[in-house]
A and B are shown apart, each in its own frame.
Chain A
Amino acid sequence: MPLEKRLTSELPPRCRVLVAGWAGPGYSARIAADYLVEEFRGELLAEIYSYHFPAHVTVSKEGFVEPVKCSLFKCKVEGDWLLVFSGDEEPLTPEGQFELAKEALEIATKLGVREVYIFDAVPGTRENSGEIKVACSDGALLEQLKEMGFKPLKAHRVIGVLGMLAGLASERRLRTTCLVTGTYTYFTPSGRMVADSRAAKALLEAFCKLTGLQLDLSRISREVKLTDSFIAELEAEKRRLLKVALKHEGGPSYVR
């Protein structure tokens, strides 16, 4: 079996909801999933390792080594339990993605999960960052979501583990909703990606609207402001450098 599972804490008695968010465009789905774990003080329930993950390990700042893995957290929320499934890297084959999704779903259904929420993001512009569209397991649920003001996704593919999870959960007749946000990926001049916290916040707001959960969003709101001012500073610096470069019209003397 090319999959290994390590349970790290006791199984919760019963869960209603499974949420999944993996690293992807703008990192927004992963940020949103992590935010739920942090806000609800989630506890690591299980780690899953797959032979289909990329063949490398990560060495941390502290000098520890970590294999590629994905994690399942349990969070106690308003007397109920919530499961959060997240990971950084995708298995490299559809078979590996399927196995991982199936394993997570099996744990979730054993714990009584009936609702699955998938956080996903599609690359877009700065203007549509945080614009949420939805897809779900059946037409009746879609109508309910439309009544709540959500726009449906016409044609799309949710790829990787989350796509498999959404498809398998729908096949098993679980109430499945994909929340897909537009996301804007900004790169610094040194090529580092700036995570899109605005899109992450939009995912969390949509999730709270759908589930009725109370979540303090003040911390991520501060992140959004910080990100905006950081990007504005970088843009101003870029403009300043461009002006300086344009002043030297003839270019350097050694270029003939």
Chain B
Amino acid sequence: MPLSTREDLAMSGDFTWIKIHKEVKARKALAASPGLRSVGFLVVNEVVKCLKSELVAEIFSAHFPVIYQSMPSYSPQPELPGIGGCIIDEGVVRLPSVKIFWCSEAGLLVVVGYHANFNGQYEVARKVLDLLKSMGVEELYVLAAHARHEGGEICCAAVASDLLEVFKGKTGLQPCYTGPFLGFSGLLFGLAQSYKMKAVALFSKTEPDYDNPESPDPRAAIRLLDLLNKVFGLAVKPSKELVEAAKAVEAERRPKGLTYF
């Protein structure tokens, strides 16, 4: 099968290229990547699975390591570029990629991110935003987590004050997180402004795991999923695996032998 024109163009040039599987248009997009406790990443994967989404585009890059040398992966360092390669999944070879799914039921695009190394993080974020813009995206919702003691269970941030006011009024959420927003999702959120996109970030409260910052927090993910269902009118039921993982985390937290917990 011949390669598509857009893919040909990209392959002849730089290190990051786009592969379009299907042309679709959508106004809204959700995005996340395996960041702090992988909360946003869990949520987008749940949405993709539950709403029977279709893979419509992929972004490949020579800047995607399959083994990260920096820890966590969303905090890339120039002297630690990682190791490239391919991923084998159930006997099939594939290159790492950012995947864009189309949920026709909800009229949403869902971006499942992948962290580039230091050399490619801006290039990849820009390529994804270029593509989203060409797909007609005007509103971008970036899903992530925060680890602050103060503030609500879910808080928000936006690229513009008027947008933030509108979102606060609509959802009752408040901004509570101040500080850096690292990695793919952070750049996507920050750079969306220059693409004239209305970008909002939603942070679900979590507890940091200092040994493995990306270890999933299913409880924070379920909380964020509930909010998305309300805001976007979705009907995404958390999968059995996610609910069981959340129960297991809860059981582990409860001190054994103390009946009043």
- Nearest-neighbour CB distance to chain B for A22, whole angstroms, equals 12
Q: Is the CB of A159 within 8 A of B84?
A: yes
Interchain CB contact (< 8 A) of A154 among B66, B81, B90: B90
Q: Which residues of B contact A153 (CB under 8 A)?
A: 88, 91
Within 8 A of A (CB), among B50-102: 60, 62-67, 81-95
A167 interface contact, C-beta 8 A: yes
A171 interface contact, C-beta 8 A: yes
Interchain CB contact (< 8 A) of A158 among B64, B90, B93: B93
Interchain CB contact (< 8 A) of B66 among A152, A159, A170, A178: A159
A156 interface contact, C-beta 8 A: yes
A150 and chain B: residue at smallest CB distance: B91
A182 interface contact, C-beta 8 A: no
Interchain CB contact (< 8 A) of A152 among B3, B62, B91, B117: B91
Q: Is the CB of A95 within 8 A of B66?
A: no
- Nearest-neighbour CB distance to chain B for A28, whole angstroms, equals 18
- Nearest-neighbour CB distance to chain B for A30, whole angstroms, equals 17
Q: Is the CB of B15 within 8 A of A95?
A: yes
Q: What is the bound-complex CA distance between A152 and B92, given in angstroms?
A: 9
Encode A16-56 as 1/0 by CB contact (under 8 A) with B.
00000000000000000000000000000000000000000
Q: Which residues of A contact B85 (CB under 8 A)?
A: 94, 97, 157-160, 162-164, 167
Q: Which residues of B contact A93 (CB under 8 A)?
A: 81, 84, 117, 119
Q: What is the bound-complex CA distance between A138 and B187, given in angstroms?
A: 33
Q: Is the CB of B93 within 8 A of A172?
A: no
B1 interface contact, C-beta 8 A: yes
Interchain CB contact (< 8 A) of A167 among B83, B93, B120: B93
Contact A156 B88, CB 8 Å, known A92-B81, A95-B81: yes
Q: Which of A93, A94, A160, A170 has the most CB of B within 10 A?
A: A94
B19 and chain A: residue at smallest CB distance: A171
Within 8 A of B (CB), among A225-256: none
Contact A134 B91, CB 8 Å, known A159-B83, A160-B83: yes
Encode A117-139 as 1/0 by CB contact (under 8 A) with B.
00000000000000000111111
Q: Is the CB of B91 within 8 A of A135?
A: yes
A166 interface contact, C-beta 8 A: yes
Q: Is the CB of A170 within 8 A of B88?
A: no
Q: Which residues of B contact A95 (CB under 8 A)?
A: 15, 62-63, 81, 84, 119-120
Q: Which residues of A contact B89 (CB under 8 A)?
A: 155
Q: Is the CB of A158 within 8 A of B92?
A: no
Interchain CB contact (< 8 A) of A157 among B60, B66, B119: B66
Q: Which residues of A contact B87 (CB under 8 A)?
A: 157, 167
Q: Is the CB of A171 within 8 A of B91?
A: no
- Nearest-neighbour CB distance to chain B for A19, whole angstroms, equals 16
Q: Is the CB of B92 within 8 A of A167?
A: no
Q: What is the bound-complex CA distance between A156 and B95, given in angstroms?
A: 12
Encode B91-133 as 1/0 by CB contact (under 8 A) with A.
1111100000000000000000000010110000000000000
Q: Which residues of A contact B83 (CB under 8 A)?
A: 90, 94, 97, 159-160
A173 interface contact, C-beta 8 A: yes
- Nearest-neighbour CB distance to chain B for A120, whole angstroms, equals 10
Contact A142 B92, CB 8 Å, known A157-B87, A163-B86, A166-B86: yes
Q: Is the CB of B82 within 8 A of A94?
A: yes
A165 and chain B: residue at smallest CB distance: B86
A98 interface contact, C-beta 8 A: yes
Q: What is the bound-complex CA distance between A98 and B81, given in angstroms?
A: 13
Q: Which residues of B contact A156 (CB under 8 A)?
A: 88
Question: Please, could you name 20 A-B residue pairs with CB atoms under 8 Å apart, sorted by A?
Answer: A90-B83, A92-B81, A93-B81, A94-B62, A94-B83, A94-B85, A95-B63, A97-B83, A98-B84, A134-B91, A135-B92, A160-B85, A163-B66, A164-B95, A167-B86, A167-B94, A170-B86, A171-B95, A172-B3, A173-B1
Which residues of B are in contact with A by a Cβ distance under 8 Å? 1, 3, 15, 19, 60, 62-67, 81-95, 117, 119-120
Pairs of residues from A and B, 8 with the lowest C-beta to C-beta distance, nearest first: A163-B85, A94-B84, A152-B91, A98-B62, A167-B86, A167-B95, A159-B85, A156-B88
Which residues of A are in contact with B by a Cβ distance under 8 Å? 90, 92-95, 97-99, 134-139, 142, 152-160, 162-164, 166-168, 170-173, 176, 178
Starting from the known contacts A94-B82, A136-B91, A159-B85, 20 additional A-B residue pairs (CB-CB under 8 Å) come to A94-B65, A95-B84, A95-B120, A97-B62, A135-B88, A136-B92, A142-B91, A142-B92, A153-B91, A155-B88, A157-B66, A160-B84, A163-B84, A163-B85, A163-B86, A164-B84, A166-B86, A171-B19, A172-B3, A178-B93
